[in-house]
Copies of this chain bind each other. A is one copy, B any other.
Amino acid sequence: MSDADELERFLADSCERIDAYFERNLPPASEPPQLLHEAMRYAVYSGGKRLRPALVFAAAHACELAPERAAPLAAAVELVHTYSLVHDDLPAMDDDDLRRGRPTVHVKFGEANAILVGDALLAAAFEELARAEVPIAIVGRLARAAGSRELVGGQVDDLAFAPERADAALVRAIHERKTAALFRFSVWAPGVAAGRPARELEALDAFGLAYGLAFQLVDDLLDGGREECSILCVADEATARVRVRDEVARALSAADAFAARGVFLRGLASAAAGRLR
């Protein structure tokens, strides 16, 4: 099998694994309150790429953590990501009616339910971590990543973003918190669960940060807009492309700490820039 085929297979396996995990562990839509549980599943099964779970499984492979032990970490981070999308789409926030071609949760289930669905998804993330009896440091790291200093803080600054007053440091600070925080958690947590040494945890964290920044820069370039927070508000396209290359190179170099077992981390990092071509 070629490297590309192997990565393709790995991504398909990751998706299958996380969907099976959700199927088994999320409250069934038949359990009261049915509307809430149906809406939670609607949000979770929304045709997303499951990129964060893929990163969890890639880091688990690098750290020799069994996929069954990685699955609850993957579920937790995907639940946090999903909650943030449900709340971001609300009328008071980005006011989006469609996500991946389907009505957003508040359009389909009403605004009050969408707020509560997001809340329940966030709580469910911590329920999954507890079910798996992960080291408590992992709970702390996810709570921080989801909270006012990272994900939510980035979102607040993003909402208040004014292109005419932006500089490169602000754009990067928003990218780090709004986007990179959950990617960092995704690759760091399997290392902690596997009991890997500090040196490797640092490599995983560096990988997650570089990957997350590259991912967001590519998103900005593909989007092309300059009204919302974007690298294009503070740099031209050529400069932004150089920054993507730099971050991908940083991610690849961090993955070297795992030699051959870093194969899927390297594959994902290379694929991040691939979206641009």
User: Residue A224 at the B interface, CB < 8 A?
Assistant: no
Encoded as 1 (CB less than 8 Å from any B CB) or 0, chain A from 103 to 135 comes to: 000000011110110111011111101110110
| B143–A36 touching, CB < 8 Å | no
A112 in contact with B36 (CB, 8 Å): no
A interface residue count range (under 10 / 10 to 19 / 20 to 34 / 35 or more):
35 or more
Q: Cα distance A157–B116 when bound, in Å?
A: 11
Please tell me if A206 contacts chain B, counting CB pairs below 8 Å.
no
Q: Which residues of B contact A123 (CB under 8 A)?
A: 122, 143-144, 146-148, 151-152
A72 CB, nearest partner CB in chain B, Å: 11
Q: Which residue of B lies closest to A122 (CB)?
A: B122
- Whether A127 pairs with B147 at a CB distance below 8 angstroms is yes
Decide yes or no: A149 and B92 within 8 Å by CB, A33-B156, A33-B157, A123-B143 being known contacts: no
Q: Does A17 contact B (CB under 8 A)?
A: no
Interface centre among A113, A119, A142 (most CB of B within 10 A): A119
Whether A119 lies near B152 (C-beta < 8 A) is: yes
Binding site for B on A (CB under 8 A): 27, 31-33, 35-37, 40, 83-84, 87, 90, 92-93, 110-113, 115-116, 118-120, 122-127, 129-131, 133-134, 136-137, 139-144, 146-149, 151-153, 155-157, 159-160
